[in-house]
């Protein structure tokens, strides 16, 4: 028996925590709570680091049991091997399926949060330009072909 099930159990726990953190992150974006956003980012980084270590551990176990090639370990080789196993590996198959579903959920929530963050950044940039007296009508092209606002002499800061 290959001792890989504990790796997937912990992976599932991490992915469940990530789903929860991504929900909290979205809420923090809505409330514009910078401290919470930074704390969540640190927690996400720690969980992703642990997930990376678990993945390395899983690959090393599979290499040790000659399921994966040492020089070129491929995920498809593991899945092919797993399909050929008897019903004693059903719990592992179920764990992998649950992890894949949670990973998909994490990716979707992360993309949503990225869109929200991008929108907030655009809004803040626009507000900052307004405070500096820049107008979207008064832009010039830079040497690289992008646009750059031209300052006005009448800024809100000088009013």
Q: What is the CATH number of the domain that holds 102?
A: 1.20.58.300
Beta bridge partners of 139: 149
Structural domain for 66, as ranges: 5-149
User: Per the structure, how many domains does the chain have?
Assistant: 1
Domain annotation covers residue 136: yes
Q: pLDDT tens, 73-125?
A: 888 999 899 888 888 888 999 999 999 999 999 999 999 999 999 999 898 88
Instruction: Tell me, yes or no, whether 155 lies in a domain.
Output: no
Q: Angle formed by the axes of helices 5-31 and 34-64, to 10°?
A: 160
Assess if residue 158 is contained within a domain. Answer: no
Compute the distance between CA of residue 120 and CA of residue 96 in angstroms, rounded to an integer: 36
Q: Give me the mean pLDDT over the 13-36 stretch.
A: 95
Share of the chain above pLDDT 70, in %: 86
Q: How many CB atoms lie within 10 A of CB 4?
A: 20
CB 99 within 8 A of CB 11: yes
Q: Check residues 2 and 17 and name the one with the higher pLDDT.
A: 17
Please determine, for residue 40, whether its predicted confidence score (pLDDT) is greater than 60.
yes
What's the confidence (pLDDT) of residue 23? 97
Whether 65 and 2 have beta carbons less than 8 Å apart is answered as yes
156 domain-assigned: no
């Amino acid at each position: 028996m290959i001792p890989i099930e504990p790796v997937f159990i912990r992976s599932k726990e991490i992915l469940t925590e990530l789903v929860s953190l991504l929900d909290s992150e979205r809420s923090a974006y809505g409330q514009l709570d910078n401290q919470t956003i930074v704390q969540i980012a640190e927690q996400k980084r720690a969980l992703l680091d642990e997930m990376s270590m678990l993945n390395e551990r899983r690959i090393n176990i599979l290499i040790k049991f000659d399921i994966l090639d040492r020089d070129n370990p491929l995920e498809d080789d593991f899945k092919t091997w797993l399909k050929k196993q008897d019903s004693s590996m059903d719990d592992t198959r179920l764990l992998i399926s649950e992890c894949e579903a949670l990973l998909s959920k994490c990716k979707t929530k992360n993309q949503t949060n990225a869109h929200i963050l991008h929108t907030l950044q655009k809004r803040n940039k626009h507000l900052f330009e307004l405070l500096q007296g820049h107008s979207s009508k008064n832009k010039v092209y830079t040497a690289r072909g992008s646009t750059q606002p031209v300052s006005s002499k009448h800024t809100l800061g000088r009013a």
